[in-house]
């Protein structure tokens, strides 16, 4: 994810209370301020998944995604 400084200043930092859905919750705050997002269609960053990676803990992540919906009304989706 890449964001302009003014967008970051408007939405604030990532919420430390989220371990899995921090970027999704942050995007919900960005959208709440009327900002839009775009997909460049280019791989900007590659990441390595390993057995102790938190991204593999799907049950815990699902609970956080539900929390984002409860707090913001929906999970922000990419615009086509």
Where in the chain are the domains?
Answer: 5-40+48-72
Q: 15-36 burial, b for 16+ CB within 10 Å, e for fewer?
A: eeebebbbebbbbbbbbeeeee
- pLDDT per residue as tens digits for the range 55-70: 667 777 778 888 888 8
Longest dimension (CA), the chain: 38
- pLDDT per residue as tens digits for the range 29-40: 998 888 888 878
Cβ within 8 Å of residue 35, ≥6 positions away: 7, 10, 11
Q: What percent of the chain has pLDDT over 90?
A: 21
Query: Whole-model pTM?
Result: 0.67
The confidence band for 9, taking pLDDT boundaries of 50, 70 and 90, is very high
């Amino acid at each position: 994810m890449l964001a302009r400084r003014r967008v970051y200043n408007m939405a604030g930092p990532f919420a430390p209370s989220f371990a899995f859905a921090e970027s999704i919750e942050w995007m919900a705050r960005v959208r709440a301020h009327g900002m839009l997002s775009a997909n460049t269609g280019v791989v900007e960053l590659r990441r390595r998944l390993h057995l102790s990676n938190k991204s593999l803990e799907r049950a815990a992540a699902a609970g956080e995604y539900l929390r984002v919906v409860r707090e913001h009304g929906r999970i922000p989706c990419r615009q086509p």
